[in-house]
Amino acid sequence: MRFRPLHSSVAAAAAAAYKPHPEARLLRRLNPISSMAADPPPPPLESEEDPDERLCAALDSYSFSDPPPLSPTELIGRPLSGEIRVVRAWAHWNRLGAPKLVIAPMVDNSELPFRMLCRKYGAEAAYTPMLHSRIFAENEKYRSMEFTTCKEDRPLFVQFCANDPDVLLEAAKMVEPYCDYVDINLGCPQRIARRGNYGAFLMDNLLLIKLLVQKLSQNLQVPVSCKIRIFPNLQDTIAYARMLEEAGCALLAVHGRTRDEKDGKKFRADWNAIKAVKDAIGIPVLANGNIRHMEDVYNCLDHTGADGVLSAESLLENPALFAGFRTMEPKEDNADEIKGNGGLDQAELVVEYLKFCEQYPVPWRMIRSHVHKMLGDWFRIHPQVREELNAQSKLTFEWLHDMVTRLKELGGGIPLYTQANTAARAAICNS
């Protein structure tokens, strides 16, 4: 539709009354095509021609930096059978037990031994660390070092960063037999993601995101999921989520911070935005952000209506978070009483983690990182032990076990985990 300015007042009134489809507005803003406003979505096409095939064919002669030759409305594509897509998404999620307590993807930190430790203490599903799709597809050593799993490590999301649909599919095919979802990282805000043109920086190219999701959803036996960050504008976020669903995403994890809000301690996650996404789409939604203990889990699920939560940094410090444990400062004379009532200390969790590492070997850089995180409270009290750890250029399990023993002998009001929030956890898991 074009407005003919026969009279300025008529044109102004028509323009003021016109409200383009929200997805079209978002795509037009991020992938500008024309100075004219886009028409609302057209009715279903009468011909058998697939608009997505036309889209891909038209892009053959264009780079992703060029303006696409189609209108913003056409970028959305004709929806697939939405009802069937949603039913299948929920059937798969329910077959997995509809897990609510999920380990978030963390580079070098959500590896198999840590996943197994968290699963022991209540985690019901987990993401792998982000894997680079091109390196994964091309490098066998990278695959063997960065991706390990076992039969108990399910349900499992395997996450890739990517900007090439064919390369992403090649990598995804390799992990398809060993996971329950192949996940596309659309939320990494770090500088390396900007340089590599992946993660949250693909938010500037929604057409490419759509092609990535479609490539997997149309060629894999397992569902495709996506993990995103929100836009500063709520309507843009909703349109983004709807586009992903229509492209074939079967589960959406929403981090309630924008791409620029990288510091989780400085910026609170926007649970209202997550709720808006949950209300706008039909597939399962996981909420990410501000999950520090089980009260947060309960409050987040209640506020957003999400189907589960992800936790990242808080789990690194307290792998027993999903079992209802949280940190406290015991007095020296009541530490034994707390432990006798089911409490845990951080040193015991480190010993358990090291046992999983011996069973499922991973690079030492990952082990060192987890020891620092889990023993952070101890190291603040005994910094000399942290300095000894930092001075070790080559770690061994024997040295680490000896270090934990020394910490226990030093003692001195070490924070313990006490099993609080059991009622909240029971309510969550039984709902």
Active-site positions read 188
Report how far apart, in Å, the C-alpha atoms of 265 and of each of 169, 191, 292 are. 35, 18, 11
In DSSP terms, 196 is beta-bridged to: none
Residues 281, 273: Cα–Cα separation, whole Å: 13
d(CA 24, CA 76): 7
Pick left, alpha or beta for residue 363 (phi over 0 → left; psi -120 to 50 → alpha; otherwise beta): beta
Question: In three state form, how does the secondary structure of the chain look?
Answer: CCCCCCCHHHHHHHHHHCCCCHHHHHHHHHCCCCCCCCCCCCCCCCCCCCHHHHHHHHHCCCCCCCCCCCCHHHHHCCCCCHHHHHHHHHHHHHHCCCCCEEECCCCCCCCHHHHHHHHHCCCCEEECCCEEHHHHHHCHHHHHHHCCCCCCCCCEEEEEECCCHHHHHHHHHHHHHHCCEEEEEECCCCHHHHHHCCHHHHHHCHHHHHHHHHHHHCCCCCCEEEEEECCCCHHHHHHHHHHHHHHCCCEEEEECCCCCCCCCCCCCCCHHHHHHHHHHCCCCEEEECCCCCHHHHHHHHHHHCCCEEEECHHHHHCCCHHHCEEEECCCCCCHHHHHHCCCEEHHHHHHHHHHHHHHCCCCHHHHHHHHHHHCHHHHHHCHHHHHHHHHCCCCCHHHHHHHHHHHHHHCCCCCEEEECCHHHHHHHHHC
| Beta bridge partners of residue 311, listed in sequence order | 103
